[in-house]
């Protein structure tokens, strides 16, 4: 199904559009147009006309059985209004059966409000480390707070380093009270991330659009949905469980904006929406948006989780770090 939002210029005829389509795709797209009610063939042709063939081919490859909406937004940043288009691709797929009874929310600890500080990544790293330690080492003190930085420098206890936003009086790093991780695992797809979600919460990056994000409440987040939508970059979150609302699959993601944000501190992110940036003829290409959404992407990307040392390995790493600190002090 093709749907266009925003003003439409004179619609091209299907035959005119197909002239510019690569030969390997022409037969398939011609069949698509013929399957559509004749009254709407010009609408389909218009969509195929405004979506560059490279992006169209990437959409077909990523989600061959999908619904496609073209969303046009007005970016008024710096009082310079320009049009920005997105392909919003809706696709259905089954989530793993093993996730039916999974919910990691109870082991993530108290919610943190990052306020206006850009520290979502640090909050997610610390919460994931805490959660994985609770899962894999349930008899240890769980108050470890805090991926490459922790591997090298360790991370302090929550009671030694509470998060109070930016502070002039930063607590000292108590050198004998560090926790360490062995490394971290990057996951290359949302399908892989959901399979891994059975064993632990998963870190991810969410495509952040305002005003949809800040006004989401208990609704399912689908990215841009109106002409005021503005892409603000990626926001680090922790994936806790999956659910379904009105037939739509979603994943519940823990945010770092406090317990009163969204759905009790979390946000329901649709698992059925992909986005792709579509440059508008006559408008300057946004390299910022193209960097993240130049090809079709789910709303959630960049999945990862930390891995732990054994108790003995962690003690060895702790001693190595303390020796490194002593050597550094001698040099200085």
Statement: the pTM of the whole predicted model exceeds 0.85 = no
Distance CA 107, CA 179 (A): 18
Distance CA 8, CA 42 (A): 11
Give yes or no: residues 133 and 251 share one domain.
Answer: yes
Give yes or no: residues 166 and 136 share one domain.
Answer: yes
Given a cut of 70, whether residue 74 has pLDDT beyond it is yes
Given a cut of 70, whether residue 265 has pLDDT beyond it is yes
Give yes or no: residues 75 and 207 share one domain.
Answer: no
Q: Is residue 318 part of a domain?
A: no
**Which is it for the CA torsion 165, 168, 169, 171, positive or negative?**
positive
Q: Which of 147-161, 196-210, 270-284, 311-325 has the highest mean pLDDT?
A: 196-210
Given a cut of 90, whether residue 233 has pLDDT beyond it is yes
Tally of domains within the chain: 2
Q: Which of 39, 61, 90 is the last residue of a domain?
A: 90
Give yes or no: residues 146 and 258 share one domain.
Answer: yes
Strand extents, DSSP E, 215-256: 220-221, 230-245, 248-254
Give yes or no: residues 169 and 303 share one domain.
Answer: yes
CB burial string 109-133: b at 16+ within 10 A, e below? bebbbbeeeebbbbbbbbbbbbbbb
Q: Is residue 283 part of a domain?
A: no
- Output the six-digit token pair for 205: 């990056």
Given a cut of 80, whether residue 83 has pLDDT beyond it is yes
Give yes or no: residues 44 and 105 share one domain.
Answer: no
pLDDT tens column, 86-99:
989 898 888 888 89
Q: What would the 3-class secondary structure string for 34-64 be? A: HHCCHHHHHHHHHHHHHCCHHHHHHHHHHCC
- Residue appearing with tokens 């390995």: 313
Q: What is the per-residue pLDDT for 30?
A: 66
Given a cut of 60, whether residue 145 has pLDDT beyond it is no
Q: Is residue 328 part of a domain?
A: no
Return the closest-CA partner of residue 179 out of 225, 128, 217.
128
Range scoring the smallest mean pLDDT among 165-179, 215-229, 275-289, 308-322: 165-179
Given a cut of 70, whether residue 101 has pLDDT beyond it is yes
Distance CA 262, CA 264 (A): 6
Return the closest-CA partner of residue 222 out of 294, 270, 293.
270
Give yes or no: residues 132 and 216 share one domain.
Answer: yes
pLDDT tens column, 149-189:
565 556 655 555 555 555 555 555 555 567 788 888 999 99
Give yes or no: residues 264 and 155 share one domain.
Answer: yes
- Mean local confidence (pLDDT), 68-76: 84
Q: What is the per-residue pLDDT for 1?
A: 36
Q: What is the per-residue pLDDT for 187?
A: 95
Give yes or no: residues 251 and 119 share one domain.
Answer: yes
Q: Is residue 35 part of a domain?
A: yes
C-alpha distances out from residue 48 to 20, 73, 181, 203, 278, Å: 10, 19, 49, 36, 12
The residue count for the chain: 332
262: domain CATH number is 3.90.70.10
Give yes or no: residues 222 and 86 share one domain.
Answer: no
Q: Which of 24, 57, 90 is the last residue of a domain?
A: 90
Range of the domain at 61: 2-90
- Mean local confidence (pLDDT), 286-300: 94
pLDDT tens column, 11-67:
555 445 455 556 666 666 666 666 666 666 666 666 667 777 778 778 878 887 788
Give yes or no: residues 77 and 182 share one domain.
Answer: no
- Mean local confidence (pLDDT), 246-250: 93
């Amino acid at each position: 199904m093709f749907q266009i939002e925003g003003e439409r210029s004179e619609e091209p005829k299907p035959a005119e559009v197909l002239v510019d389509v690569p030969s390997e795709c022409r037969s398939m797209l011609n069949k698509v147009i013929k399957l559509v009610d004749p009254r709407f063939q010009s609408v389909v042709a218009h969509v195929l006309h405004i979506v560059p063939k490279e992006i169209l081919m990437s959409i077909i490859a990523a989600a061959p059985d999908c619904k496609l909406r073209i969303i046009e937004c007005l970016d008024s940043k710096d009082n310079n209004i320009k049009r920005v288009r997105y392909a919003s691709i809706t696709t259905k797929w089954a989530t793993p059966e093993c996730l039916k009874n999974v919910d990691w929310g109870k082991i993530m600890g108290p919610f943190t409000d990052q306020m206006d500080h850009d520290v979502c990544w640090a909050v997610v790293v610390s919460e994931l480390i805490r959660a994985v330690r609770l899962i894999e080492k349930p008899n240890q003190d769980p108050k470890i707070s805090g991926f490459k930085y922790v591997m090298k420098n360790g991370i302090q206890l929550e009671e030694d380093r509470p998060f109070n936003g930016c502070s002039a009086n930063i607590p000292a790093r108590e050198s004998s009270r560090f926790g360490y991780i062995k490394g971290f695992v990057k996951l290359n797809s949302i399908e892989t991330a959901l399979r891994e979600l059975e064993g632990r919460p998963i870190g991810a990056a969410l495509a952040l659009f305002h005003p949809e994000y800040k006004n989401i409440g208990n609704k399912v987040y689908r990215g841009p949905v109106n002409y005021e939508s503005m892409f603000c970059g990626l926001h680090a979150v922790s994936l806790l469980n999956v659910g379904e609302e009105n037939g739509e699959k979603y994943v519940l993601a823990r945010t770092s904006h406090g317990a009163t944000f969204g759905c009790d501190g979390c946000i329901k992110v649709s698992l059925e929406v992909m986005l792709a940036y579509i440059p508008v003829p006559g408008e300057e290409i946004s390299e910022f948006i193209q960097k993240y959404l130049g090809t079709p992407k789910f709303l959630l990307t960049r999945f990862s989780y930390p891995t732990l040392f054994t108790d003995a390995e962690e003690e060895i790493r702790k001693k190595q770090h303390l020796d490194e600190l002593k050597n550094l002090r001698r040099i200085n």
